[in-house]
Amino acid sequence: MKKALFLDRDGVINVDHGYVCRPEDFEFTEGILEWIRAMQERGWLPIVVTNQSGIGRGYYSEEEFEELSGWMLERMRGAGIGIDRSQLFFCPHAPEEGCACRKPAPGMFLAARDRFGLDMNASLMVGDKASDIEAAKAAGVGRAIRVEKDRPLASEALQKLIGKG
Ligand SMILES: [Mg+2]
Ligand SMILES: [Zn+2]
């Protein structure tokens, strides 16, 4: 069974400028691409789990989100990370819709588990909000690290992991 490196998007993979929906506003956080690649080399399968209520709120469309995601995944592959669209899960709903996928609900994690046959207990979540950690715990993810928004690699817990993998 595979172990996943679950990654929040806004605030972890990219700087959270608020409802980012275009490549020109998408800024990878410092060192994140290199770190994901290093983790993958140690056997972690990268999986993105992202709340995108901007769709449900009507700030941008699902098509725009898919377009940006395609661009982001291409950039990640360009940095040597093995990742495709199947490794990205998103919740398009607004909070008041009460869906089962918006973090802190565990829906996206469970969908990823079923798609890839993941060992959840051996998996790791990296997020910048309490809801990221809560969702991971609810899904049975063994370890969840809350990092500093926009500066994930500055987190001490993450630095320790880099040493050990
Ligand atoms: Mg976030
Ligand atoms: Zn949802």
Distance 133 CA to ligand 1 centre (A): 11
Q: Which long-range contacts (CB under 8 A, 24 or more apart) does 99-105 make?
A: 102/51, 102/53, 103/8, 103/49, 103/51, 103/127, 103/129, 103/131, 103/132, 103/134, 103/135, 104/130, 104/131, 104/132, 104/134, 104/135, 104/138, 105/135, 105/138
The pLDDT, as a whole number, for residue 140 is: 98
CB burial readout 33-57, b (16+ within 10 A) else e: bebbbbbbeeebbbbbbbbbbbbbe
Q: Indicate whether 137 pLDDT > 80.
A: yes
Token look-up 């669209």 returns: 85
The pLDDT, as a whole number, for residue 6 is: 98
Distance 13 CA to ligand 2 centre (A): 20
The pLDDT, as a whole number, for residue 111 is: 98
Task: Say which residues have a Cβ less than 8 Å from residue 114's Cβ, sequence separation at least 6.
Answer: none
Question: Any catalytic annotation for residue 10?
Answer: yes
Q: Indicate whether 147 pLDDT > 80.
A: yes
The pLDDT, as a whole number, for residue 5 is: 98
Mean of per-residue pLDDT scores for the chain? 96
Q: Indicate whether 164 pLDDT > 70.
A: no
Q: Candidates 3.40.50.1000, 3.40.50.2000, 3.40.710.10, 3.30.200.20; correct CATH number of 3-164?
A: 3.40.50.1000
C-alpha to C-alpha distance for 126 and 8, rounded to whole angstroms: 6
Q: Indicate the DSSP class of residue 60.
A: S
Q: Indicate whether 165 pLDDT > 60.
A: no
Q: How much of the chain, in percent, has pLDDT values that exceed 90?
A: 93
The pLDDT, as a whole number, for residue 48 is: 99
Q: Indicate whether 38 pLDDT > 90.
A: yes
Token look-up 């608020």 returns: 18
Higher pLDDT, 163 or 20: 20
What tens digit of pLDDT does each residue of 89-122 get? 999 999 999 999 999 999 999 999 999 999 999 9
Distance 90 CA to ligand 2 centre (A): 8
C-alpha to C-alpha distance for 118 and 137, rounded to whole angstroms: 15
In this prediction, residue 163 has a pLDDT band, given cuts at 50, 70 and 90, of low
The pLDDT, as a whole number, for residue 118 is: 98
Cα–Cα nearest to 6, from 152, 156, 151? 152
Q: Indicate whether 161 pLDDT > 80.
A: no
Contact 61, 55 (CB under 8 A): yes
Question: What are the tokens at 86?
Answer: 């199947």
For the chain, the domains span 3-164
C-alpha to C-alpha distance for 94 and 52, rounded to whole angstroms: 8
Question: Any catalytic annotation for residue 8?
Answer: yes
Which bound ligand lies closest to the C-alpha atom of 52? 2
